[in-house]
Structure 1
Amino acid sequence: MPETLRTETEAGVRSIILSRAAEYNTITLALRDELGAAIDEADDDPEVRVILLRAEGAAFCAGYGLDWSTELQATEATMDRAWDSVMDMREMSRFVDTYMKLWYATKPTISAVQGWCIAGGTDMVLCSDIIIAGEGASFGYPPSRVWGTPTTAMWVYRLGFEKAKRYLLTGDEIRAKEAADIGLILECVPDDQLLDHATALAERMAQVPLNQLRMLKLLCNQTAENMGISSTRTLGTLFDGVARHTQEGRDFVERSATIGIREAVRERDNPFGDYGSRPR
């Protein structure tokens, strides 16, 4: 049985539900593998027409588990070999390929987002065809301030050049209403209506013949493919590894080992006054 998620199927909709609520559904190796398998299974099931990704708890996904990821990088200092950018990209691509299954699944994918959906969580969710968020949700890519770049690189394709630059060059937090207003997501609804609203849309889509859904999704996605989404994704994944190994990135890892990851993140975000450093 999966440890990080569960699935449900009703009225042609396969719900994939992230279930590490106590850990804010942060990304782990197990979540990566189980999510990929769940998407593949849903895409192959002839009874499923639409895939709905949602999560239990207060947060949809608060990014990668920084405890294990910073500790993993810290061990590099004890190795005799220099950092291998090609190996790093190969390993990160395993995560990226999983998120992109939401994009390349032949069936429509909808994500229903509550609470935090930040950093690696956006790498995942922005690959969905449609995103609906509760009004209390927040998006953003704070690692752009230090220690990362968006690996799936979906920002420009959803926002356009200037808006993508505006948010990536600051890492600023984007509240759900603003995310809908700028086109990062489809819409923002009251938190207590999120599940019903997203499910209703998924079930409405599921009334359309599957061959129609597949053709229409591919027709829309091909525009981004023609614009070069594959090469952008490759560059984003490569740059993410580079960003983690700049002097500033290495300093962030060392600081995390010294004062703890939560305090290191707070130091990063305090000058901007958002995310965990948002005034109470």
Structure 2
Amino acid sequence: MPDTLRTETAAGVRSIVLARPDAYNTITPRLRDELARAIDEADADPDIRVILLRADGPAFCAGYGLDWSTEMQAAESISDRVWDSAMDMRMMSTFVDTYMKLWYATKPTIAAVHGWCIAGGTDMVLCADIVIAGEDASFGYPPSRVWGTPTTAMWVYRLGFERAKRYLLTGDEIPAREAAEVGLILECVPDDELLDRAMALARRMAQVPTNQLQMLKLLCNQTAENMGLASSRTLGTLFDGVARHTQEGRDFVQRATEMGFREAVRERDDPFGDYGSRRRTDG
């Protein structure tokens, strides 16, 4: 049985629920593998027509479990071998390929987001066909300030060139209402209505024959494929590794090793006054 998520089924809808609430559903290799299996199983089940991704706890997904990933890079830095970019890309592709299952699943995928959905959490959730968020949700890619690039590269396809650049070139936090206004997500709803709204849409879709859903999803997604989504994703995954191994990226890992990851993140974000830095300042 998986220990990072659970599944529920009703009315042709398979809910996949991230279930690491105490860890803000941060991404680990175990979650990656269990999420991949859960999506594949739902897509292969003839009784399932729609896949709904949601989460337990105070946050949808606060990105990667960076304690383990910074430790991995710190260990790498004292190795006798130089950074292997090809190996790094193979490793990161195992995560990216899992997120992209939400995109390439033949059936519609909906994400219901609350709380933080940042960094690697956006790599995951922006691969869903439709994203609905509660008013307390926040999106963003703070590692664009140092130590990362969006691996699935969905930002331009959802926002267009200028808006994607506006948010990625600052790493700014995007409250759910703003995310809906600029088109990053479908809509922002009251927090206590989030699950009902997402489930109602999923069940409405599930009334359509599966083959119709599959054809219509493929028809829409093919536009992004023709625009070069696969090559953007390859570049995003490669550049993520490069960003983690620039001098600034290595300095960030060193600071995280010395002072703890959360303090290193605060040091990075304090000049921008958002994410945890803003909330700490506001009391």
TM-score between both structures, scaled by the size of structure 2: 0.99
Q: 1:260 corresponds to which residue?
A: 260
Correspondences of 1:33-52 after superposition (within 5 Å): 33-52=33-52
- Structure 2 residue ranges without an equivalent (≥5): none
Equivalenced residue count is 280
What is the distance in 1 between the residues matched to 2:162 and 2:272? 20
Q: 2:11 corresponds to which residue?
A: 11
Q: 1:225 corresponds to which residue?
A: 225
Q: 1:142 corresponds to which residue?
A: 142
What is the distance in 2 between the residues matched to 1:130 and 1:72? 34
Q: Deviations over 1:37-68 (max 9, x none)?
A: 00000000000000000000110000001100
Q: Does 1:107 align with 2:107?
A: yes
1:78 Cα shift?
2.2
Q: 2:211 corresponds to which residue?
A: 211
Q: Deviations over 1:158-211 (max 9, x none)?
A: 000000000000000000000000000000000000000000000000000000
- Structure 1 residue ranges without an equivalent (≥5): none
What is the distance in 1 between the residues matched to 2:155 and 2:73? 26
Q: Deviations over 1:229-251 (max 9, x none)?
A: 00000000000000000000000
Query: Counterpart amino acid of 1:136?
Result: D
What is the distance in 1 between the residues matched to 2:14 and 2:114? 19
1:77 Cα shift?
1.8
2:106 aligns to what SS in structure 1? coil
What is the distance in 2 between the residues matched to 1:126 and 1:221? 13
What is the distance in 2 between the residues matched to 1:163 and 1:262? 28
Correspondences of 1:85-124 after superposition (within 5 Å): 85-124=85-124
Q: Report percent identity of matched pairs.
A: 81
Correspondences of 1:131-170 after superposition (within 5 Å): 131-170=131-170
Q: Does 1:22 align with 2:29?
A: no
What is the distance in 1 between the residues matched to 2:153 and 2:97? 12
1:19 Cα shift?
0.3
What is the distance in 2 between the residues matched to 1:240 and 1:156? 16
1:79 aligns to what SS in structure 2? coil
What is the distance in 2 between the residues matched to 1:52 and 1:123? 17
Q: 1:59 corresponds to which residue?
A: 59
* Deviating 4+ runs (over 3 angstroms): none
1:107 aligns to what SS in structure 2? coil
Query: Counterpart amino acid of 2:151?
Result: T
What is the distance in 1 between the residues matched to 2:77 and 2:265? 21
2:271 aligns to what SS in structure 1? coil
What is the distance in 1 between the residues matched to 2:80 and 2:251? 20
Query: Counterpart amino acid of 1:215?
Result: M
2:265 aligns to what SS in structure 1? helix
Query: Counterpart amino acid of 2:254?
Result: E
2:272 aligns to what SS in structure 1? coil
Query: Counterpart amino acid of 1:214?
Result: Q
TM-score between both structures, scaled by the size of structure 1: 1.00
1:268 Cα shift?
0.4
What is the distance in 2 between the residues matched to 1:242 and 1:48? 40
What is the distance in 1 between the residues matched to 2:273 and 2:264? 14
1:110 aligns to what SS in structure 2? strand
RMSD: 0.4
